[in-house]
Structure 1
Amino acid sequence: MTDEPDNLVLTILRDMRAGQQRLEAKVDELVRRVSSVETNLAQVHVDLAGQAARMDRMDGRLDRIEKRLNLVDA
């Protein structure tokens, strides 16, 4: 075997490829994390919509109670 040094261009290209692979791995992880955040945010919206619907029903019930007890101004 010869102790000939690697071609400088090939060495630089290998380093660039390794850096690119590290960046791709980080981007993939970020994509997974953003997807998780989006899923959780969608669930929060669903929960808020459920709470709003529940409060609307409670408001209707309170109105009926006030009318039945003659607590509303005519």
Structure 2
Amino acid sequence: MAEVTSELMHELMKKLSQRFDKVDFTLSELRADNTTLRGQLHVLQGDINNLRITVGQVENRLDRIENRLELRELQEAQSRFEPHP
């Protein structure tokens, strides 16, 4: 078995420290990516909400138009049966 010297332990500790530095850096990158993704999802949710509002407004306008057309159709149908001068 090889002797464990202080130099060997020092080299081992240096390598471990380097690896932990890499792990810390990678974790920082992952956190930054996660924050960016969360921000993009937040913006996307806002866009979806705006689209829902717009579709709701279009549906309301379409309903009003349909109601007006039905009233006009009823008046036209009724006018056929009324005497004209």
User: Which among 37, 42, 46 is matched to residue 46 of structure 1?
Assistant: 42
Aligned to 1:19: 15
Runs of 4+ in 1 over 2 A off after TM superposition: none
RMSD: 2.1
Aligned residue-pair number: 66
**Structure 1, unpaired ranges of 5+:** 1-6
- The CA distance in 1 between the partners of 2:31 and 2:4, in whole Å, is 41
Task: Structure 2: state its 5+ residue gaps.
Answer: 71-85
Per the alignment, residue 37 of structure 1 pairs with: 33
Relative contact order (alpha carbons < 8 A, sep ≥ 6): 1 or 2 greater?
1
Q: Rg: which structure is higher?
A: 2
Q: Write the distance in 2 (CA, Å) between the matches of 1:63 and 1:14.
A: 73
Identical counterparts, % of pairs: 14
The one-letter code sitting in structure 2 at the alignment partner of 1:70 is E
Where is the helix percentage greater, Structure 1 or Structure 2?
A: 2
TM normalised by structure 1 equals 0.76
What amino acid maps onto 2:60 in structure 1? R
